[in-house]
Structure formats: structure tokens, C-alpha cells
Amino acid sequence: MSTPVLTVEHMTMRFGGLVAVDDLSFTAGRRQITSIIGPNGAGKTTVFNCITGFYKPTTGRLTLTHENGDAFLLERLDDFRINHLAKVARTFQNIRLFGGMTVLENLMVAQHNPLMLASGYSLAAVLWPASYRRKEKEAVELARYWLEKTGLIHRADEAAGSLPYGEQRRLEIARAMCTRPVLLCLDEPAAGLNPKESEELNELLVSIRDDEGISILLIEHDMGVVMKISDHIVVLDYGRKIAEGTPEEVRNDPAVIAAYLGVSDEDEVQEVIHEQH
């Protein structure tokens, strides 16, 4: 198997006295869908924020490796450089679109860095706009590709804020894909979707993995989505990894069942974990 796209080693994140993530290590395979699951408050989004640079982990090392062998230490990069250089794109739990801009404009903003370069940092293009037109057309084509793929092409010229919820979720994924990422991090993409939309999301994610060859890191509560499409699952509880494996392994793991269903006695949980190892 090729090298994993993301390796997280001994990552700890403290907020004052609160330990949100405690000595977490895992890897995300290339061209695989890796899911992070766990009860509310388990520290899943904190892990995401550390990977995408919105938080700096207290300790630990996060290595992102490109297919050509280039490696980036994510804990040392600014958030916007993680997207620009390391090619990690993300979506947000509470959707963050540019509501007053059209769907197409949202996807153009996502291609900011290559377009900046093409427009001579906007200086050349102010004086001579024709020089930049070809590159802009290419950017529109990429946007059109993702709009067709996410079924939003008929909405291209509408304000992003006026779209229904499910379409906003898809647009956020399309926008992240327009940055041409190596690793796509999705924070609860199925939240608030109806079963049909959920099914479409599954197809989209599988297509991103299989057709585009992009690795996906997924936080999700919807087990229908997680169990069906994940290649690898990491289970967190109270900031610690309590289990890891294929969907089948995780589904039958007593520690996971205990964490989700609740076990009255703390010792009992420890016992269950001991049995597992």
C-alpha cells in the first residue's frame, strides 16, 4: 500500500485545564475514506481544527504526504497555508458559505491562489484584462465541472445564501473541491439531510474517492453514511481513541458500544477496554 496521506502522532490539545484531545495517533490512508466518530463532545471537531490549522495542537506531530513524496508538518503551518501548500480542504459543521455571493462566485473564490498568480497579483490584469481572461475561463470550467457533479448547475447564478440547506451542504463540498485538495476534511456533511439527500451524498463522496482519487477524512453522526462508505473508522470518546478498524470491527467493538450506549460503572468501561487490547 502507498504511504498514508495523513499521519497523526501523539496529538494532544489542551484548552486551559480541559484536555480536548488526549494523545491521539492514527493514520488516514491514501484514496480512502477515514471516518472519525464518537459521542458529542468527544473532540472530533477539535481534531479537525488542528489538522486544518485553526487550532495549534499543544503537542504532537501531524504529517501530510503528497503522492510525489512532499511532506508537510501541519502543526507548523498557518491555516491558509495548509490549504494553499499542503492542499487540505475542509467544510464546516455550521455551513460557512459566502451568502451574498453567487454559487459560481463561491467557487471562483476557492480558486483564489492560482487566479491571483494568473492575474499577475491583479496588477497586470487591472492594466490589461485580456491577459487574464483565458485563465478565468479555465477556472469557470472547473467550477462548472463541480457544479454538474453536485447537481447545482441550475443554481450557478443565484446567491449562495438563498439555496436550501441540502444544496448549501453540497455547495460547500464543491467549493472545497475547487481548491484541488489532496485531503478533503468534511465536518458532519450529512447533518440535517433527508434520507434521499444522504444517499446522494454517499454517492458523491465515493465518486470523489474513486474517480478523483482524493482521500477523505469524515466526521459524521449518521451511521448509515459512515458504515456504508468508510474504509477505516477511528472512534473517539473524551478525547481518547477507544477503537479503530474497519466498519465491521468497530461495529462489534464492546468499548464502542459502551461509549455509545453508556455503561453505568466506570470500572466496567475500563474492563471492557482491557478485554479489547
Contact residues toward another protein (CB under 8 A) are 52, 54, 79-81, 83-84, 89-90, 92, 96-102, 104-105, 108-113, 115-116, 119, 121-122, 125-126, 129, 132, 136, 140, 143-144, 147, 153, 156-162, 175-176, 179
Nearer to another protein, 88 or 259 (CB): 88
* First-last CA distance in the chain: 25
Helix, strand, or coil (residue 275): helix
Least distance (Å) between residue 112 CB and another protein: 5
Least distance (Å) between residue 85 CB and another protein: 8
73 CB-contact burial (10 Å; exposed 0-12 / middle 13-18 / buried 19+): exposed
Cell of 145: 465541472
Nearer to another protein, 112 or 240 (CB): 112
Short-list 197, 200, 220, CA closest to 33: 220
169 CB-contact burial (10 Å; exposed 0-12 / middle 13-18 / buried 19+): buried
* Residues 240-243: contacts with CB under 8 Å, at least 24 apart: 240/22, 240/23, 240/24, 241/24, 241/25, 241/26, 242/38, 242/273, 243/276
Nearer to another protein, 178 or 190 (CB): 178
Check if the beta carbon of residue 81 is closer than 8 Å to that of residue 75. Answer: no
Least distance (Å) between residue 47 CB and another protein: 15
Least distance (Å) between residue 264 CB and another protein: 40
Nearer to another protein, 33 or 110 (CB): 110
In whole angstroms, what is the distance from residue 104 CA to residue 86 CA? 25
Least distance (Å) between residue 163 CB and another protein: 10
Nearer to another protein, 54 or 238 (CB): 54
Nearer to another protein, 108 or 250 (CB): 108
Least distance (Å) between residue 18 CB and another protein: 22
Nearer to another protein, 10 or 96 (CB): 96
Least distance (Å) between residue 156 CB and another protein: 4
Q: What share of the chain is helix, strand, coil (3-state, %, to 5)?
A: 45, 25, 35
Q: How many CA atoms lie within 13 A of 38 on its CB side?
A: 23
